[in-house]
Structure 1
Amino acid sequence: MGHRRDSAHTAGARAGPDKQPHEVAAMFDGVARRYDLTNTVLSGGRDVSWRRATREALGARPGDVVLDVAAGTAVSTVELATGGVHAIACDFSQGMLRAGAARPVPRVAGDAMALPLADASVDGLVISFGLRNVADPDAALREFARVVRPGGTLVVCEFSSPVWAPFRTVYTEYLMRALPRIARAVSSNPDAYVYLAESIRAWPDQPALAARIQAAGWADVEWRDLTGGIVALHRARRP
């Protein structure tokens, strides 16, 4: 993958906006109708390659059962469900699940901190651009370890910190100024993207997130930067 976390030391995470689960669910209900289009525009079309990289990092084999948490409209789940992989979309926003109802993957409503699955019931778990919206990300990471079988894989695809300092400054300005403006033109609920921009800015960087994943009980934690660190893929193994 790239960088690896071998120490048990947990770095402090930057504080993010308060997240009340019902408020976040309602927010995503409000953006569901044009969510996929908005993501493509805001990412400059990079969302397609990010989904492909996430599937490749997971490395699921034919017959594997994979849970896609915070799956939204299940675009990411369809990407995972290739080559005989049984991928299940899970999201706590009913609006998101309805918006993706036509996609040919099974769907289940569920909270990342209390998944409706039995212990050790899936071979792998993916969460893309959703962990930072969970009220307690550390509790969610522990819950993921509960439902993944020993030896199974976790992949977290999330916005992160650009590795080149000058670009990191420009990117932060884009998040807080340009992103909400673009969202007003394409999103069904542009005000929600102000919250999303703030949540990205407040999210821990790559080493800090790796430390939190390890502290939640995962092993062999490593990460790979995508698009200069705008996005990072963290992968870990269930011991």
Structure 2
Amino acid sequence: MTRASLEKQPKDVAAMFDGVAEKYDLTNDVLSLGQTRLWRRAVGQALDVRPGERVLDLGAGTATSSLPFAAAGAEVVPCDFSLGMLREGKKRHPELPLTAGDATRLPFADGVFDAVTISFALRNVQDTDAALREMRRVTRPGGRLVICEFSHPTYRPFRTVYTEYLMRALPPVATKVSSNPDAYVYLAESIRAWPDQQALGRRLKDAGWVRVAWRNLTGGIVALHRGTNP
């Protein structure tokens, strides 16, 4: 099965996620020791969607991450570039308007969303800066962005333990529960190569977002970054 490289060629990344779609949510729950649900809850609180708002959930995969926004009364559009993920999501959530799209060339008009969010997918985009600019383009003035992404633990001894877990424990565990364990080797490597909290914050500002801030979850394993479209 396909494994992407850190060059993040879009076709390779999409094919890799196509291959893990069926068990992706289960594998993530196992590998995160159940933390994914807490992280999703934090995203929902940070985005604070209101009934009637239009929300873009980018990198939504099977649309599991979109469900809380729909439950809050928002008009949520789950968007992903893995057709395998979208097919699996459509089987599970046929009521949602799952949409195929590349984060660097979104198939939406300017300023049509009140809020945009992306969880654990930005680091898989080939051109991060282009994606941040595209997200701002489709967000209305005053609209908001929340990014949930793996980051760098702030406590140095814990960071060492975490890095060892990623590269040594994660692939064997993935072998037990995933249909494509090699994909999780790539995912571990992509987490290690991802910029830290401050660096990602600077990139949001460079893309034109204002009132940029972030907070750490689970000791910095994950960080929530927020921004507003001026």
TM-score, normalising length from structure 2? Answer: 0.96
Structure number with the bigger relative contact order (C-alpha 8 A, sep ≥ 6) is 1
Q: CA deviation at 1:60?
A: 1.3
In structure 1, the partner of 2:111 is 120
Q: How many Å separate the matches in 2 of 1:92 and 1:68?
A: 12
User: How many positions carry a matched residue from both structures?
Assistant: 224
Q: How many Å separate the matches in 1 of 2:207 and 2:22?
A: 34
Counterpart residue identity of residue 36, structure 1? D
Q: How many Å separate the matches in 2 of 1:82 and 1:237?
A: 23
In structure 2, the partner of 1:13 is none
Q: How many Å separate the matches in 2 of 1:110 and 1:40?
A: 25
Q: How many Å separate the matches in 1 of 2:69 and 2:156?
A: 33
In structure 2, the partner of 1:54 is 43
In structure 1, the partner of 2:190 is 199
Q: CA deviation at 1:124?
A: 0.4
Q: Which moved more, 1:154-163 or 1:74-83?
A: 74-83
Any idea what the Cα deviations from partners look like across 1:132-159, whole Å, max 9, x if unmatched? 0000000000000100000000000000
In structure 1, the partner of 2:140 is 149
Q: Does 1:224 align with 2:184?
A: no
**Mapping 1:30-49, distance limit 5 Å:** 30-49=19-38
Q: How many Å separate the matches in 2 of 1:133 and 1:95?
A: 16
Any idea what the Cα deviations from partners look like across 1:39-86, whole Å, max 9, x if unmatched? 000010010111111011011111100000000000001122222111
Q: How many Å separate the matches in 1 of 2:180 and 2:148?
A: 23
Query: SS of the residue aligned with 1:28?
Result: helix
In structure 1, the partner of 2:55 is 66
Percent of counterpart pairs with the same letter?
Answer: 64
In structure 2, the partner of 1:80 is 69
Q: How many Å separate the matches in 2 of 1:159 and 1:30?
A: 22
**Mapping 1:90-129, distance limit 5 Å:** 90-101=79-90, 102-103=92-93, 104-129=95-120
For structure 2, list consecutive stretches of 5 or more residues without a partner in the other structure: none
What CA RMSD, in Å, does the superposition of the two structures yield over aligned residues?
Answer: 0.9
Q: How many Å separate the matches in 1 of 2:89 and 2:40?
A: 16
Q: Does 1:177 align with 2:162?
A: no
Q: CA deviation at 1:105?
A: 1.8
Q: CA deviation at 1:26?
A: 0.2
**Mapping 1:1-40, distance limit 5 Å:** 17-40=6-29
For structure 1, list consecutive stretches of 5 or more residues without a partner in the other structure: 1-15
In structure 2, the partner of 1:7 is none
Q: How many Å separate the matches in 2 of 1:46 and 1:75?
A: 15
TM-score, normalising length from structure 1? Answer: 0.92
In structure 1, the partner of 2:131 is 140
Q: How many Å separate the matches in 2 of 1:192 and 1:51?
A: 22
Q: Does 1:163 align with 2:158?
A: no
Runs of 4+ in 1 over 3 A off after TM superposition: none
**Mapping 1:206-221, distance limit 5 Å:** 206-221=197-212
